[in-house]
Amino acid sequence: MRSLHWLMSVSMIVGLAVGLAAGLAASDDKIVSDVQARQAGLTVHWSTQIQFGVQNKLVSAELVVDENDAITYFELVGGGRREVISDRDLGPDGKVLGVAGAELRAKDRKEVIEAELRFRDSSDTIEIRQYTIPQATLFTLTDGGSVQAINAETGNILWTNQIGNPKYPVIGLGASKQHVAVVRGSRVYCLDAKNGHLLFEYQCNHAVMNSPAVSEQTVFVPLNNGALMALPIATKGAGTLPLNAVGVAYAPPMIAGRFVIWTTDAGYLMVGYKDSMNDMEGGMKYRLRATGRFISGPVASNGRLFAVTYKGYVYALDDRRGNVLWNFAIGEHVSRRLVAFDNSLLVFTDNNKLFHFDAATGQLVSGWEEPRRNLAGFLGASRERFYTRDPIGNIVALDRGTGSEMGRINSKAKFVEIRNTLTDRLYLCNETGLVQCLREINSVRPFFHDAQESATGESGEKRPSDRPAADPFGAKDDANPFGG
């Protein structure tokens, strides 16, 4: 039989340590307080600290959801307490607990917490709730070259790795279910996403322009000579092939379904096969010549690609066939990346206006005929709300249907937005490396957007045929925005 006294002693020591840590975390560096969050219908789900460099800067962050790798959680609730234990937590021997081990730890904690409650003359009991959800991992990269994988639901740091030579600048990070790629200087580092182990590194012959994109088999790196370099992971970068484009990619490329997509400053949206590059031409599928140059990168959702030029021309394409589904001229400059998920397309202009389109039709959503003003960025969304920020960093909640303001957090703390279009969690990071996760009070378990869509971007809906369509880009007239 376990010793309840021993468990209580350990619990008191751990509780004291946690309390001290919480006291430190609750300093003026806190991004959003519990009181502020609740005023907007939110709560602080977790907080954790990551390692910063000398410039105190978060360079990149990417959330990855792996629906094929579920995590089982045991939630202990009662007496004003909530604790979560997962099957990925480590035991005293440093090994992963597994489902059976996590359940045993949850039962031990139940005994300890109920004993503490009785000591405080409380008759409350602790309930253990078991649930299983897809694994969600938040990968972060700081200016010091520190790469960290964080359990996006609990805030536990899964692994940390220090990458590259401190003499060279940190460029960016890309991630998939299996791999993480980091660029420092002109060197690319590929890591195992599960444990952070370095798999290989590769020296590029040209300067790297932005963060890489990562598929199951390939790392794609945009170079300053206009090429998108494809590094095969299986051969540790050997046999690299350039996917040549017109112009230079100033925004990160992205993976959607079977394709890699990127935009250039010459006004081209390029689409290539992410894992079929037997030769330089075989890797390309099609390209779109748009009106004006691209500053921001493309986005994808439910079998559609979206891109916006600096002049404010928005394009929607079918990702497989390449035909233009619709286009819209906003009439304002746009250098910020689009936001696409569910059936929504959000456009934030450089004048801090927010447009909300029906992603399927290109029509402004009913109730959103006029743009919402004084909004500069996207944080996340729940079933009923969009969470945005204004130009000075306040968090603004909007009704998805009407666009009316439903809540506001006037935070004086500076933070970097980590946009999340996959779940209903909000992630913030401040200048000291504190990462906070916020959620709506009733959303104890995460809600997943585009639930029918896999992490590779292929949805369960009926899709257009892969049969080649008539070439929409055959015209040579530069006045035609779809020619060239």
Q: Say if residues 141 and 181 touch (Cβ distance below 8 Å).
A: no
Q: 269 and 199 in one domain?
A: yes
Do 188 and 263 belong to one domain?
yes
Assess contact for 293 and 310: CB atoms under 8 A.
yes
**Same domain, yes or no: 249 and 192:** yes
Query: Does pTM top 0.85 for this prediction?
Result: no
d(CA 141, CA 220): 18
108 within some domain: no
Which residue has 């079998």 as its token pair?
Answer: 303
The answer to whether residues 278 and 160 belong to one domain is: yes
Note whether 300 and 269 are same-domain residues.
Answer: no
Specify the long-range contacts of residues 349-354, CB closer than 8 Å, at least 24 apart: 349/312, 352/376, 352/390, 352/391, 354/388
Q: How far apart are CA 24 and CA 30, in angstroms?
A: 10
Residue 471 contacts by C-beta under 8 Å, 6 or more apart in sequence? none
Residues ≥6 apart with Cβ < 8 Å to 53: 142, 143, 144, 145, 146, 170
Q: What is the pLDDT along the chain (484 residues), one digit of tens a residue?
A: 444 343 334 343 334 333 333 333 334 457 898 899 998 999 999 999 988 776 778 999 999 999 889 999 998 989 888 888 999 888 888 888 999 999 999 999 999 999 999 999 999 999 999 999 999 999 999 999 999 999 999 998 999 999 999 999 999 999 999 999 999 999 999 999 999 999 999 999 999 999 999 999 999 999 999 899 999 999 998 888 888 888 999 999 999 988 999 999 999 999 988 876 544 445 778 889 998 999 999 999 999 999 999 999 999 999 888 899 999 999 999 999 999 999 999 999 999 999 999 999 999 999 999 999 999 999 999 999 999 999 988 999 999 999 999 999 987 778 888 999 999 999 999 888 899 999 999 998 899 997 544 333 333 333 433 333 333 333 333 333 333 3
Is the distance from CB of 135 to CB of 24 less than 8 angstroms? no
The b/e string for 445-460 (b: 16+ C-beta within 10 A; e otherwise) is ebebbbeebebebbbe
CATH number of the domain encompassing residue 275 = 2.130.10.10
The residue type of 350 is D
Q: Would residue 9 count as lying in a domain?
A: no
- 10 Å Cβ neighbour count for 431? 16
Query: What range does the domain containing 171 cover?
Result: 154-286
Q: Which residues of 92-130 are buried (b: 16+ CB within 10 A; e: fewer)?
A: eeeeebeeebbbebbbbbbebbbebbeeeeeeeebebee
Examine the domain organization and report whether 159 and 277 are in the same domain. Answer: yes
Residue 99 placed within a domain: no
Q: What is the CATH number of the domain that holds 324?
A: 2.40.10.480
Torsion of CA 87, 65, 39, 45, to 10 degrees: 20
